[in-house]
Chains A and B, each alone.
Chain A
Amino acid sequence: MSAKRGAGIARPWLLMVPAVALLLIFLVIPYINIVLMSFRTPGTGTPYGVGFTIDNYLRFFSDSFYLFQVFNTLWIGALTTALCLIIGFPVAWQLARGDMRFRGLAYGLVLSPLLVGIVIRSYGWTILLGNAGLINRTLQALGIIDSPLPLMYNALGITIALVHVFLPFMILPIMAAIQGVDPSLESAARSLGASRFTAFRRIILPLSMPGIQAGCILVFVLSLSAYVTPSLIGGLRVKTMAVTVVDALIDTFQWPWGSALALMLSVTGAVCVLIFARLTRMKWKVARS
């Protein structure tokens, strides 16, 4: 038995070759390129000039405008993540444990945002949120407000649209995690004297933590790097880092500067993810003999 197993997967790393090759070619090499690029001097008529410099980073840290923009981006990401979690968890719970009859329908509804292109969805939100949009006009027609509420061209609008776009990425991993929790654990907790709520808080919630963690990291990272939604809804008024990076690269053709900005976003995002993962670390997952 053990001999057979040994022969069957004699070189388990062979199975990883395709994945490693993909990562190397499409992630690591471009990343190295970006890091190098971020230390180059600006060029005229060429992507970059001669020699290396740390000016790009000095510019970033000396201009509070960019620091504020990073902060703003992280804030929108965190807010989007929190809202997705609050809205998504009950939905994930229903999908995992709810009535079988409605599960198919609910599943379809959850996935539906993914079936429509992101540009179309974001335009949809501009129709709803704009000053002459559906929400404002309805509220005005009903006499609830006099002047339009500022729903677009601000962080709130971006967050609302991002929550809609990324909700499935929160719901699906949490749903999978809850489905993985044996329902008899809840019965066991009840028989030991726990109310439904206590059983949920002490047993179900911690055991679905891996899904919550995965969902939060996914949504947060996706929000930080989102481009289409913030640029359509934020317009020229509110810019997230991703939008600024693209401006630098495409509009003003400042490749070294854009690379430095992109890296600062990556680094701060990664730090946030690490801190989050550390805070939500599950001791019992680590403890395997």
Chain B
Amino acid sequence: MTEVSIERLTKVFGSSRAVDGISLRIADGEFISLLGPSGCGKTTTLKMIAGFEPVSDGAIRFDGSDVVNVPAEKRDIGMVFQNYALFPHMTVAQNLAFGLEMRKVAKPEMEERIARVLDMVQLGGYAERYPNQLSGGQQQRVALARALVIEPRILLLDEPLANLDAKLREEMRVFIRDLQRRVGITTVYVTHDQAEAMTMSDRVVVMFGGRIAQMGAPADIYEKPETLEVAEFVGQVNLIKGRVTSVDAGEAQISTVFGTVAVPDRGIARPNMTATLALRPEALDLAAAGEPGAAGRITARYYSGSLVDFRVALSSGEELHVQTFPNARYSEGDDVTVRAPLDAFWLIGAAQ
């Protein structure tokens, strides 16, 4: 299939840079998510790949050949829109046939392919329905089928699940992911939902203000975010202060209320600096007061079924957010000890 390579891609609207020099290589068959807050340039990037938005600067290559000047209809792309964009005056079968007619596929093959793809999205009996006779989830699958039936080089999806309810959204996540694996098509998926990006993608590209903040496997993004911005965007995060005691061979020893932790110094830590360390709420655990760890008192407790969220005020003055399984039988006002595994910390910043 197709490898996509994007180099210093830029889009300028008037005086603002909606996409600001992003470079990215998407391997053949890879599932990539563009993740970022509203207005960070995800849709604009996707539109430039699709050919709906002229490129201000930079290059887009499919398998090495530059497509910047290739019109949208010649790029051989399957696109799924947030609002599905099904043709309301055509039946499901006609919607799927449209792209095949444009490719002058012969009638028997066309029917065969439409039937096969409709089966794949589990809409076998719906060929003669009009879009307004389908539920939101079914329309979503028709949109997916319409994009896939032309067997495009690349599949682009722009927040395709945003209009579905929570339950269906989770089902469709898995459905799209499995389908993509089976078909093996290079896929770019746009979302501002971090859970969606994490579950579905091989790699997540986090964007802020038209630039790539970080890209990598979902686990890397979540566990080793490079900036506080990224850390906060992909999940909840606790910040604690510590003092750098020594730096050696790329590793900094930092003394904290949890004891001395060793973290990669990332070239920013010097001895005697005040360091900011981050750690995820679910990495923390509670124990009875007096146990080894950081002493504190529970200020709030939120029960959510599978998990319980605690707010703990440490005696050092810092406020921590702790997430545990519901078998932790502590309540508001209890004195507790917060325990943290020493490898759960990472360095966010350091200053004199």
Please give the residue numbers on chain A whose beta carbons come within 8 Å of chain B beta carbons, in ascending order.
182, 184-185, 187-195, 198, 202-203, 206-207, 282-284, 287-289
Contacts and interface: CB of A to CB of B under 8 A. Distances in A.
Contacts of A203: 87
7 nearest interchain CB pairs? A193-B102, A192-B99, A188-B85, A191-B79, A284-B89, A184-B85, A289-B133
B130 to A, nearest CB: 5
A190 B132 contact: no
Contacts, number: 74
A194 B78 CA distance: 13
B72 A190 contact: yes
20 contacts: A182-B83, A184-B83, A187-B52, A187-B72, A188-B81, A188-B85, A189-B87, A190-B72, A191-B78, A191-B147, A192-B73, A192-B99, A193-B103, A193-B150, A194-B98, A207-B87, A207-B89, A287-B132, A287-B133, A289-B132
Interface in B73-114: 73-79, 81, 83, 85-90, 98-99, 102-103
Nearest to B156: A191
Given A188-B79, A288-B132, A194 B73 contact: yes
Nearest to A181: B88
Contacts of B83: 182, 184
A33 to B, nearest CB: 43
B328 to A, nearest CB: 40
Given A203-B87, A287-B130, A189 B81 contact: no
B89 A206 contact: yes
A206 B79 CA distance: 22
Contacts of B78: 191
Nearest to B52: A187
Interface in B160-184: none
Q: Which of A192, A206, A284 gathers most chain B CB within 10 Å?
A: A192
A204 to B, nearest CB: 11
Chain B interface extent, by class: 20 to 34
Nearest to A192: B99
Interface of B: 50-52, 71-79, 81, 83, 85-90, 98-99, 102-103, 130, 132-133, 146-147, 150
B146 to A, nearest CB: 7
A192 B102 contact: yes
A188 B87 contact: yes
A187 B76 CA distance: 13
A194 B101 CA distance: 9
Q: Which of B76, B77, B88, B132 gathers most chain A CB within 10 Å?
A: B88
Contacts of A283: 89
A283 B147 CA distance: 25
A289 B99 CA distance: 26
A8 B99 CA distance: 46
A192 B150 contact: yes
Contacts of A207: 87-89
Contacts of A194: 73, 98, 102
A282 B90 CA distance: 11
A187 B85 contact: yes
A282 B87 CA distance: 14
Contacts of A198: 102
A182 B81 CA distance: 11
B146 A192 contact: yes
Nearest to B79: A191
Q: Which of B71, B73, B130 gathers most chain A CB within 10 Å?
A: B73
A189 B73 CA distance: 8
Given A189-B98, A192-B102, A284 B130 contact: yes
